[in-house]
Structure 1
């Protein structure tokens, strides 16, 4: 029986046209023998505009639900995540070749690693790409390292939450994505870093599409009052988890 990696994607009508590129990047992934992926696409809402862009593939499942934002859509999709690992793939992004195999290898090799991230390139409208300075060293990321860096660098983490690959049981224990209008994925990343060691791959794992309709490019995303409130609760959650000293994996002592 094959072991599964569940790919979770939230989508709304404006980003549906990019699903074909995301699907192509998935189909180009090579996994070790005995492993397979299954793609859960969850529409944030109920329209007639997304389903025509969903690939006709037995490995792809499409569902709809009432709108609540991408974090809600992803968390609802977890109800059907029947694999050992969950990989995040936003509808407008693309995986780089070899990403799933590298993520899988990191977590399979070390049971103390709860999650993995990788290097990101911006995928610009003209087809070019651009990287970022300041990536951490290739290898393990210790607990609190991301939280502390994020707090000291104007709420910018040194690893990207859109690249997360995580153990399903850990993701469920954390409660999925935060109930926020934005930064819900950053909230998840910081919570994970508060309770479990992670991994960073210095090889490119994601092409992060920059386009006019993306949520992080909207004026509401940078509203100062809301941003301050989001960042405050994101950090408070991460610090509280650390304070209570819950750790993954759970000690048998």
Structure 2
């Protein structure tokens, strides 16, 4: 697949309860400042085939919509990849909002260092009253050597030190890992830990995401916390990580050459 060299594809799966939040998600994406020559594309994918998601979005040529049979967030995210363009993929859930210049910070890290395969950033919980609160487990900003996230996950009752909803990953690495896991939940955790198993990452200390807390979100549902299902999801994720660590070398899934060989001056954006 021939890809544009300066496009960051933002992937958003949508289920019906989260449709009302798309307006806020779009406003924050629309206001992102990017380095000269860079563009974003918003790949919005409905987990279903009602057409309601496309009808709720503004007329913007940078938005690409699609539908699929109901299959959950992992299937829906991966189906959106049929329209991906550019060397980077950014995760954005429908009910969340990017902070100012979040995409520019992701691009800056990944353009500057070809040995880094993915980034995450600080996330702030967004309460229904509009207030925000910090997540206490953030690591120090900087490089996360491959395996760092997994070791923390194992040692801390399967709690991640970074937020998977802030992930930005090289497109070739994402495809090499098979996209998101076909799990009913934790598909984003599975992808993050797979990336961490084979490539160094980077944690950005500035807040990159407002993570909305509300009653309708998938992670607040009782089924999400079923002990049996959660144990099974964890077992599958652990098996994938172990298999990748056995079979992958650090030279596999090399970064896109144009991105790796190019440095972008973010001074053109003004102060970040």
Q: 2:226 aligns with which of 200, 223, 228?
A: 223
Determine the C-alpha separation between the residues in 2 that align with 1:182 and 1:109: 33
Q: 1:4 aligns with which of 7, 11, 15?
A: 7
Q: CA deviation at 1:248?
A: 4.7
Determine the C-alpha separation between the residues in 1 that align with 2:52 and 2:137: 39
Q: 2:96 aligns with which of 93, 97, 120?
A: 93
Residue of structure 1 in register with 2:129 after alignment: 126
Determine the C-alpha separation between the residues in 1 that align with 2:252 and 2:101: 27
Q: CA deviation at 1:130?
A: 0.8
Deviations 1:194-226 (A, max 9, x none): 000001001000000011100000000000000
Q: CA deviation at 1:246?
A: 2.7
Determine the C-alpha separation between the residues in 2 that align with 1:248 and 1:202: 27
Residue of structure 1 in register with 2:55 after alignment: 52
Residue of structure 2 in register with 1:177 after alignment: 180
Residue of structure 1 in register with 2:66 after alignment: 63
Deviations 1:16-74 (A, max 9, x none): 11001000110111001110001010000011432221121010011111010111111
Residue of structure 2 in register with 1:202 after alignment: 205
Q: Is the 8 A contact 1:8 1:74 kept in 2?
A: yes
Determine the C-alpha separation between the residues in 1 that align with 2:252 and 2:108: 18
Deviations 1:109-141 (A, max 9, x none): 000000000000000001100111121111100
Determine the C-alpha separation between the residues in 1 that align with 2:87 and 2:51: 32
Determine the C-alpha separation between the residues in 2 that align with 1:187 and 1:231: 9
Q: Is the 8 A contact 2:98 2:210 kept in 1?
A: yes
After superposition, where does 1:7-86 map in structure 2 within 5 Å?
A: 7-86=10-89
Determine the C-alpha separation between the residues in 2 that align with 1:2 and 1:85: 9
Secondary structure (helix, strand or coil) at the match of 1:137 reads: coil
Residue of structure 2 in register with 1:168 after alignment: 171
Residue of structure 1 in register with 2:259 after alignment: none
User: Which residues of structure 2 form unaligned runs of 5+?
Assistant: 255-272
Residue of structure 1 in register with 2:148 after alignment: 145
Q: Is the 8 A contact 1:111 1:249 kept in 2?
A: no
Q: Is the 8 A contact 1:30 1:98 kept in 2?
A: yes
After superposition, where does 1:233-244 map in structure 2 within 5 Å?
A: 233-244=236-247
Q: Is the 8 A contact 1:215 1:221 kept in 2?
A: yes
Secondary structure (helix, strand or coil) at the match of 1:237 reads: helix
User: Which residues of structure 1 form unaligned runs of 5+?
Assistant: none
**Could you state the TM-score of these two structures normalised by the residue count of structure 2?**
0.90
Q: CA deviation at 1:79?
A: 1.1
Q: Is the 8 A contact 1:140 1:200 kept in 2?
A: yes
**Could you state the TM-score of these two structures normalised by the residue count of structure 1?**
0.96
